[in-house]
Amino acid sequence: MTIRHVTALLTRATATLGLLALLAACAGGAPGANRELILLSTTTTRDTGLLDALVPDFEKRTGYTVKQIIAGSGEILKLGERGEGDVVLSHSPAAEEAWMAAGHGTRRALVMHNDFVMVGPANDPAQVRGLAAAEALRKIALAGAAFISRGDQSGTHVRELALWREAGVEPKGRSWYQETGAGQGQTLNVASEKGAYALADRGTYLALKKGLSLEILVEKDNGLSNIYHVMTVNPAKSPKINADGANAFADYLVSPVGQELIRTFGVAQYGQPLFVPDAGKSESQVLQGKP
């Protein structure tokens, strides 16, 4: 029995134990089956520590070994397009839709969300605390206050650029605007060192908060939702694509077990979850804040 056969059965399974039993039954796979899969994922899933919880649990339950390649969403989508990974976990919905429409993937499923926040020094030199995101960026630009951008075409960077457009500001080339070309954690560290503003996903900020001299100043704005999907890479991209493994990982993320791990992740350490599980929902439900 292959993982693909199991996936078909799982659509009719309702119990968590049944789902896990089916996955485990295929852990041995057919003789010579590829037991390694390559996960292309964003820096936020690594920097929050979420992958450190999800991946070992998936490996234990299924017998697969996961190799992780971590980069911004833009870069991991390019890698998937070239067939250099099996499954993608990203948070750049518009880019993902285009990627799927171009035939680079065979399956896309909503996994979870958190939100973006704008952070900055406690003295808030541009006086943006409590404002809507676009208005906050306009005030930062008018004040010439330092702003640190990832500048890496990640999901966070793409959202930041959209907010600047909404604000009617072109920040690139301004003396107060700096691009790190690095991941979320490194960018937050630079912003902290320079007493600057930055856009971050809430989960990564909370995970790194103790080492940062930054506070959340702008949050809970309609433009700050941060939605994650899992996508399986089209096996036509390369004979090396492990389609069975990719589907097994996608199945795990949206299963009751994977969703429960996501739901509780961060509660013990930070007093609140870092992500909200969303399997079975539509993106519009998430954007509207519906359960």
* Domains of the chain: residue spans and CATH: 3-114+227-287 (3.40.190.10), 115-224 (3.40.190.10)
Contact assessment for residue 110 and residue 281, using Cβ atoms and an 8 Å cutoff: yes
> pLDDT tens-digit profile of 71-90?
989 999 999 999 999 999 99
286 versus 175: which is more confidently predicted? 175
The whole-number pLDDT of residue 214 equals 98
Task: Tell if the pTM clears 0.85, that is, is over it.
Answer: no
Nearest Cα neighbor of 233 from 245, 218, 220, 216 is 245
Is the pLDDT assigned to residue 178 strictly greater than 90?
Answer: yes
The whole-number pLDDT of residue 8 equals 41
What average pLDDT score do residues 166-179 get? 97
Which of 92-101, 115-124, 150-159, 241-250 has the least mean pLDDT?
Answer: 150-159
Could you tell me the pLDDT band of residue 16, with boundaries at 50, 70 and 90? very low
